[in-house]
Structure 1
Amino acid sequence: MAEEKKVEDRWLLVEPIKIGLLGMEWRKFERELRMAFDEGIERNLIDRRYEFIFEDNAGLPQNTAHGGIQGFHRLCDAGCVAVIGANYTDSAIPLVEHANARKVPIVSMCGTDQFHGEYCFRVGNGDVGDEPALIASWLKRQGHKTVAVVSPASPIGEEYFFFLRQECRRLGISIAAVQSVNLKSVDLAGTFAKLRDANADALCWLGYGGLVVSGDVRRGLEEIGWDPPRIMSTAFMQYIWGFDQLEGWVGIDQWCPENPRMHLFHERFKARYGEDPWMWPNAIPGLAYDMAAIVVEGIHRAPIISGPGVKKGMERIRWMPAVTGGPNTHISSGPYDHQMFKGDWLHYGLVKGGKLEFAGLFEATDDY
């Protein structure tokens, strides 16, 4: 007992590692983050205490880019050696130069190539380049030769459409019509009517998830009586707020029942906290855990516990199994490779009869 008391005293005397959490969403997923760090301590990956410092203002889209930048600097000034967050594309892009200047790594679930820099790491909740590749592959394998597209008027709208156009051109699929939407789009029935009149074989939604959650997408299709074969970007993961809003849609997902790591995460979470994670079943709880686990592994591999040291430690991660995505999803990095998800980290889902069905992993077409 006396020896245990000495160990505890030494533990408490050592200053904790400070980790910044940038974004109001982390209040909801704090348990997933803590679980990764607590397991890191239990597995002797971390040999000192940790402290989370919350900064709710990550900037756009809820607030301003300036507010997000100031929030990030406050975390750096508090001594954080890594920051988890800035998860929206809009909030992540303005932070690139600041992360590089402060030499504090950010791990974000944003999905844009514009979040690219020496201290910027991505484990995307989707990806504006990868998703169109899966969408085009699905269209090709379903025999669709033309597609009508809804594209968002947003910072990633042009990026999304560029990659979709590129992949469709590669696979010989024609884009029959394109319509843009924004968060205030009110006449979705009129938008869908224009796309329907283009006589495309299928419909592709690259637009906002908020218009799905609100019911506007389903109402717009029902109003004009249009029920085409249809596929959606990772906005599809809004199914957690109401499967009825996505009836008949195929979409890009990251919650895969064939991933054993996902089931193990769920079991450990319930054993630790006595209930399901918030938003379960959905990819975000597991993704939050993966993001925190990356920082834990980065600290374990760091030559020194500092911003540059943790950055180097994260670049040394190889073949780390992931909770997110399909059974072969793993996390790896390198000095010039900060897109950390590898393997089948995106796959297809389908909402049918008010329930989510797993609709398969990516399959190459004969054209590749």
Structure 2
Amino acid sequence: MLLDQHLAEVERSHRDGLAAGLDAAGLDRPYELVVAQTDALPAGTSKSLREGFERLRDAGVVAIVGPAVTDNCLLSRVLADRAELPLLNWSGHEQTRSRYSFHYQVGSLEEEPALIVDRLVAQGRTHVALVFDRSEIGASYLRWFERRAQPAGVTVAGRAGISPTTQDTTKEVQELRATGVDTLVYLGLGHSAVAVASALRAGGWQPQVFTNTALMYGHMHPERRPMWEGWVYVDMYADDNLVLRELRERDPQPWQDNPIGICSYDMGRLLGEALRLAPHLNPDGVLEGLQQVKQVPAAAGHGGTTMTFGSWDRAALKGDYLVSRVWRGGRSEQA
């Protein structure tokens, strides 16, 4: 039921953003938003993702919004280029970009570690333990964390790799606790963060935890928030964003503490702008339209974040789009 509700929110937000993008000049013909739901990675399969893409392609769509999760987006990048069909993926990996695959950054494997390290240094926490997913996502986070940490003077006393779908990290947490540090960094997709939190609680260890956008899952799964109490993480929305404030004033409920809806609105807005700017309403025309999108105010990120594409630019968000937040008392607060 929760998944169905989440998908409904994503679709509604896409539609709202699409309408907003077209409002500037309108479209001289009707349009249809076609939805293909798949059980893709990590819980599903790449075969399911491929079949979903092919259903949309065969339906004659002129562009695709989705999928999410880096592993899926790396595959859909290849599919989009083969089909010469514009795709706007939402993931955290810059390698998901290509000629036909545009990237709306829901987090950033390359940039989030810098924000985490800066927060650590600001709080004087320069000696840490680290746990990470053994996956493409976890490995990328780890690589970029180490590149930022060393020159900043942050040392890693111990590290442990875990399965991204594990339900038990007791052994790894015990080993990291033995390092004697009071700060833990988690880097991963987020499913294993539940197991890490459970092991911390069961073992009575209460380090200050810093992590990436993994804890955005707390918005979808309220029952997880108590176990992540006090964890500092990276999110996609900020209290000083005027576009988001306007959306909340217009209709508070859908946009309150809902970063996925906020990002979905932005992606709909991008597609609407591209359709409006497209010289022809076919895949190549939409490709050209996407490349002409410039300086569109984003609902995500800190105030002043904008969305721009170009001939060789496939990264949507420009500016200070990553936001430090903390789960406290069941609510996400700006840190």
Contact 1:145/1:201 (<8 A) preserved = no
> For the structure 1 residues 302 and 42, does the alpha-carbon distance in structure 2 shift closer, same or farther, using more than 3 Å as the test?
closer
Mark the runs of 5 or more structure 1 residues left unpaired by the alignment.
1-22, 360-368
Residue 336 of structure 1: aligned partner: 312
Residue 141 of structure 1: aligned partner: 122
Residue 276 of structure 1: aligned partner: 253
**What letter corresponds to residue 76 of structure 2 in structure 1?**
L
Higher RCO (CA < 8 A, seq sep 6+): 2
TM-score w.r.t. the length of structure 1 is 0.83
Contact 2:135/2:164 (<8 A) preserved = no
Report the Cα offset of residue 185 of structure 1.
2.4
1:229 maps to 2:200: no
Larger Rg: 1
Contact 2:86/2:101 (<8 A) preserved = yes
Structure 2 SS opposite 1:348:
strand
Report the Cα offset of residue 26 of structure 1.
4.0
Residue 322 of structure 2: aligned partner: 346
* Matches of 1:24 and 1:262, distance apart in 2: 21
Contact 1:148/1:198 (<8 A) preserved = yes
Query: Residue by residue, what CA displacement relative to the aligned partner does 1:234-277 show, whole Å, maximum 9, x if unpaired?
Result: 01212222331211111101121111111212333x2xxxx722
Residue 247 of structure 2: aligned partner: 265
Report the Cα offset of residue 231 of structure 1.
0.5
Q: Which moved more, 1:56-65 or 1:285-294?
A: 56-65
Report the Cα offset of residue 290 of structure 1.
0.4
Structure 1 SS opposite 2:43:
coil
**What letter corresponds to residue 318 of structure 1 in structure 2?**
K
Contact 2:18/2:270 (<8 A) preserved = no
* Matches of 1:326 and 1:236, distance apart in 2: 18
Structure 1 SS opposite 2:32:
strand
Query: Residue by residue, what CA displacement relative to the aligned partner does 1:51-81 show, whole Å, maximum 9, x if unpaired?
Result: 0111112632233212212221221221111
Report the Cα offset of residue 191 of structure 1.
1.7
Structure 1 SS opposite 2:94:
coil
> For the structure 1 residues 106 and 58, does the alpha-carbon distance in structure 2 shift closer, same or farther, using more than 3 Å as the test?
farther
1:62 maps to 2:43: yes
**What letter corresponds to residue 188 of structure 2 in structure 1?**
G
Structure 2 SS opposite 1:54:
coil
Mark the runs of 5 or more structure 2 residues left unpaired by the alignment.
none
Contact 1:32/1:289 (<8 A) preserved = yes
Report the Cα offset of residue 141 of structure 1.
1.4
**What letter corresponds to residue 151 of structure 1 in structure 2?**
F
Q: Which moved more, 1:27-36 or 1:145-154?
A: 27-36
Report the Cα offset of residue 119 of structure 1.
0.7
Contact 1:24/1:55 (<8 A) preserved = no
TM-score w.r.t. the length of structure 2 is 0.91
* Matches of 1:266 and 1:77, distance apart in 2: 38
**What letter corresponds to residue 234 of structure 2 in structure 1?**
I
Residue 14 of structure 1: aligned partner: none
RMSD (Å) for aligned C-alpha atoms: 2.1
Which structure 2 residues correspond to residues 151-300 of structure 1 after superposition, within 5 A? Answer: 151-212=132-193, 215-240=194-219, 241-242=221-222, 243-268=225-250, 270=251, 276-277=253-254, 280-300=256-276
Q: How many residues align?
A: 329
Contact 2:130/2:159 (<8 A) preserved = yes
* Matches of 1:64 and 1:153, distance apart in 2: 18
Residue 12 of structure 1: aligned partner: none
Residue 306 of structure 1: aligned partner: 282
